[in-house]
Chains A and B, each alone.
Chain A
Amino acid sequence: MATAAAHNTDHHHEETFVSKYIFSMDHKMISKQFLITGMIMAVIGMIMSSLFRLQLGWQGESFAVLNFFLGDKWAPDGILDPNMYLALVTIHGTIMVFFLLTGGLSGTFANLLIPLQIGARDMASGFINMLSYWFFLASSVIMVFSLFVETGPASGGWTVYPPLSALPQAMPGSGMGMTLWLVSMSLFIVSSLLGGLNYVVTVINLRTKGMTMTRLPLSVWALFVTAIIGVLSFPVLFSAALLLIFDRMFGTSFYLSDIHIAGEVLEQTGGSPILYEHLFWFLGHPEVYIVLLPALGITSEVIATNARKPIFGYRAMIGSILAIAFLSFIVWGHHMFITGMNPFLGAVFTFTTLLIAIPSAVKAFNYITTLWKGNIRFTPAMLFSIGMVSTFISGGVTGIILADSALDINLHDTYFVVAHFHIVMGLSAVLAMYAGVYHWFPKMYGKMMNRKLGYAHFWLTFVCAYGVFFPQHFLGLAGVPRRYYTNSEFPMFDEFVGLNELVSIFAIVGALAQFIFMFNFFYSMARGQKATENPWGSNTLEWTTPVEHIHGNWPGPLPTVHRWAYDYSKPGKEQDFVPQTVPLEDGEMDGGAGH
């Protein structure tokens, strides 16, 4: 708070290049740093997926491009090595879940939106905020570096279950690559915690005058609750990682017992790999919502703005965010139905998991109702948001099946699961992240992105995304296991050779389409049309700040808030939006709040 108070309006200090662009403590710059770092990581993760899709689409065939990226060691004669295949899926998962959709998504939008939308001059602690980014960068660098160690990067799947990940003799990727993975993740968790604490404290303490909790935009609500979930669950992953490091390096046996590997009896006894699974998923499931809630928050904002209509059921939306957050902590066991857990426990987790469908359904119906009788402008951001609602539903409904412990028996770890979580979590969050970038680009860079390229990007991405993941439900229902280097060992999967090829073509075209976005992003940053202060006609506070970024956000005193964020198309008003800073007229009710 001291930092924010010190930066008073007319007090503007000169900044050097280093303090402005590199060791910046300004939330807007840190937000851009998170975004660019996340994008670089995403490109790496995406290229990896294209590489292993080549193998899965045309199994055992030779591709010069594989040899180009992976070299003679991991793709001799252009044929992917099975160990490298596992490494690719592992690092792809790690990068996408953590570096893009946790660090990249929350890091970008929590930093950008929280201070701007609550009317604060900056985060509660600019220094901790900067530290959060630098830990994130360090962990990204280490993760990328791990790709180049001799035995290859971590390869035990993104969940890195021991004993596979604990024993270097179990697979090459469990050597140095795994050590670096654990170091990288530990730094990542530190980054997440520093960021998360800052977001929570900022939302609680630095809201401007009149910005009550029930006037907060849903984006801030979502980012706020996300940060709370992260702060409560990431330490558990940290302990899981720490214990795994101990098992790997110091001969402890938290996760190891009764193992005979590479011709030797291991002397560690008494541990259990299941303990790791519990610790991992205690973070791992809330993590899904750490990824998804910001996406839902962004979507709420973009849909309301571009439908020119208040978000339907504002309070119900907050309620469902809170319900989802609470439930997310008591469902982790549904990842472990077939680990031999007590059937009673399985039943409890089935029950709690299916409960999540209720607040999720409320959210989906509320989005649809928001569109009903709206006045919809199809900006690229709006397209991505509508796409997000579609993937949220398409992926969400299959969750009902997987939540059922009995049905999970036959679908666990098959492509049905791959399809489910990629659609409901991966696609939803990625589409929403794009929506966020298109929507707030004018605020981040003071320029407009090219709309036509945005349209091309959306349609290619959206169609290809479904083309990749929708058919995978069928693979799963046929019993095809995930993480198989090839399916050719089982004649029962021969029917799906063509389908796998189709999926791979969609994946590669979809990946190429992302370069349209990259081009648009950097081109617009340099040469895009100059943005106006409030290009979309939004109500929220960030659009009352000047286009050119200034330290402290508002040139004059902080704005005062008089109403909720969703007075779009309010009867009796001339314009179809009423910014939050406009005082209520005599007898005017404040939005959806209060009645």
Chain B
Amino acid sequence: MVTFLIIVAIVLAGLAIMQLMRVFEGTTKLKGGDNTLPTNSENIYQSRMMLAFVAGYFIFFAWLMAEFGDKLLPESASEHGVVLDNLLNFNFAIITLVFVITHVALFYFAYKYVFSSERKALFFTHSNKLELLWTTVPAVFLAVIIVYGLNAWWDITDDAPAGSLNIELYPKQFDWTARYAGSDTTLGASNYNMISGTNPLGLITKGSIAAFTAELREEVVGLKEQLEAAPKGGLKEEELTETIAKRERQLKRIATFESLNEASLAAGNDDVLVKNEFYIPVNRSVNFTFRSRDVIHSAYMPHFRAQMNCVPGMTTSFNFLPTFTTAEMRQKTGNDEFEYYLLCNKICGAAHYNMKMVIKVVSEEEYNNWISEQKTFAESFQPAEEGMTEVNQPTGNEISMIEQ
């Protein structure tokens, strides 16, 4: 590859130098001639190039359409996506028309009205009629586009219908966790102060509060021991004091969660957390909510024409109704390995390009079977073992611990 490129570069450079030499020979021949304005033959040549270009441009467009037009996203797998695709096609029809007409006019005029010393250009400064025409015609088209587009927008951004499945998508650098509300259909309370190796989403339950409080207290005890052993007045002492103060402040914040009402504290117990892939039932509206642990991510599900940013410090949401199961989509696309994907679509760091989940759309029955096999948060939650203080290391352990 490298050698190939080097050869290409050398060949190109050689061609360029040859071309240069020829050009300079040409210009020296014209010694004394005025090099300011294009000659007649240059003007004519360039005017023909205008036509050639616009033809080539359209051919390129057509070739891309023929070659890749059928490799774009397949038919929308969500209800609102069909509306969006129609809207998109409607817009494309209009802009392609405008694109073609204006380009034909632009390059044809450039070709047709090439310079001739025999004639003068038309002194045509303005025309209120024409200008009114191309102010109002675009305005009318835009009005249609706006009304059509906003109608779709209102429908899509409407609240999720009652009975929707509640799922939270929770990103961090660089993976996703999906959380299901469980049998109570309510997502349990959560807070970033509660995040630990065993509780990656920071769910607040009686169990998690107790366990994490104990864990942090133990860590503080350990740190205090280190502090006593550390040399006085050193950098180490300062660092330790700071960390201890930090942990104690965190403990105080966590203590406030205990005053949440019983129902809130219980809601998280039956939540189900999954990684790598998640299931949704077909033909039932899904209400996704999004938070983020660290930086902004974006949950992009192109097959469902769905996207929403995940912003630390706030909760966002998006709901849609999936209409085709993964199996149905495999049939439609003729691709046995077709999968729906959740992608990260907001730059979030080095492994941004690899932050994904597979979305399985299945029948209600399959979904029920699958979800009943998953462990609830209470079942999977294993308080940290005795003496294990480094729970805050952001390692891959979290994943395996949850999945066990």
Contacts and interface: CB of A to CB of B under 8 A. Distances in A.
A377 B353 contact: no
A368 B127 CA distance: 14
A578 B26 CA distance: 34
A354 B68 CA distance: 29
Contacts of B352: 86, 483-485
Interface residues of B, number: 129
B123 A265 contact: no
B121 A576 contact: yes
Interface stretch (B101-109, B219-227, B263-271): B101-109
B195 interface: yes
Interface string B143-173: 0011001101110110000000000000001
B2 A456 contact: no
Nearest to B311: A273
Contacts of A466: 57, 60
Nearest to A83: B350
Contact of A309 (B50, B110, B123): B123
Q: Which of A466, A467, A481, A516 has the most chain B CB atoms inside 10 A of its CB?
A: A481
Nearest to A81: B350
Contacts, number: 387
A400 B95 contact: yes
Interface string B25-40: 0110000000111100
Interface in B1-43: 1-2, 5-6, 9, 12-13, 16, 19-20, 23, 26-27, 35-38, 42-43
A410 interface: yes
B255 interface: no
B235 interface: no
A375 B53 contact: no
B121 A471 contact: no
Interface stretch (B180-188, B278-286, B339-347, B360-368): B339-347
A378 B47 contact: yes
Nearest to A356: B142
A373 B72 contact: no
A260 B195 contact: yes
5 contacts: A310-B124, A369-B124, A409-B305, A410-B306, A576-B120
Interface pairs A-B: 7 shortest CB-CB: A257-B313, A479-B302, A592-B125, A340-B316, A378-B46, A343-B157, A397-B95
Interface of B: 1-2, 5-6, 9, 12-13, 16, 19-20, 23, 26-27, 35-38, 42-43, 46-47, 49-50, 53, 56-57, 60-61, 64, 68-69, 71-73, 81, 84, 87-88, 91-92, 94-95, 98-99, 102-103, 105-107, 109-110, 113-116, 119-127, 130-131, 134-135, 138-139, 142, 145-146, 149-150, 152-154, 156-157, 173, 191-193, 195, 202, 246, 249-250, 291, 293-296, 298, 300, 302-303, 305-309, 311-314, 316-317, 337-339, 341, 343-354, 356, 392-394
Given A308-B115, A377-B37, A570-B123, 17 more contacts: A65-B5, A161-B347, A164-B347, A260-B192, A263-B393, A308-B120, A374-B113, A390-B107, A400-B91, A456-B23, A479-B300, A479-B302, A481-B300, A490-B343, A512-B12, A535-B36, A569-B120
